[in-house]
Amino acid sequence: MIDWLSLLTVLGVTIVASLAIVLVVGLGIRMLATPTRPGRVADERDEEEDEVNLNGRPRAATAFAVVCFVAFGGIIAFGIWLIVPAFHH
């Protein structure tokens, strides 16, 4: 009576998809929180150079974060596609 196959399918798909989504968003948010050098504190030289930004992050990190959030946007769009029957029936 229990449809084990569809139950396991739902369980597997749900876990894999959820982990993928939180991984993408988590990585994006982690990238945004990347400072130039981990644990670095201001020294005297920094105080003389105005352009040194202690919280500035490498461009690569910003770019990776953007990629992550674009992917998240794609996942949201897919979710809406799944919700609206007119799109897939």
Residues near another protein (CB under 8 A) are 1-3, 6-7, 9-11, 13-15, 17-19, 21-23, 25-27, 29-30, 32-33, 35, 38-39, 72, 76, 79-80, 82-86, 89
Q: What angle do CA 52, 56, 62 make, to 5 degrees?
A: 150
- Indicate the residue among 60 and 76 with the shorter CB distance to another protein: 76
Torsion of CA 77, 80, 82, 84, to 10 degrees: -140
Q: How far is the CB of 44 from another protein (least distance, A)?
A: 21
| DSSP state, residue 37 | S
Q: How far is the CB of 15 from another protein (least distance, A)?
A: 5
H or E element that contains 6 = helix 4-32
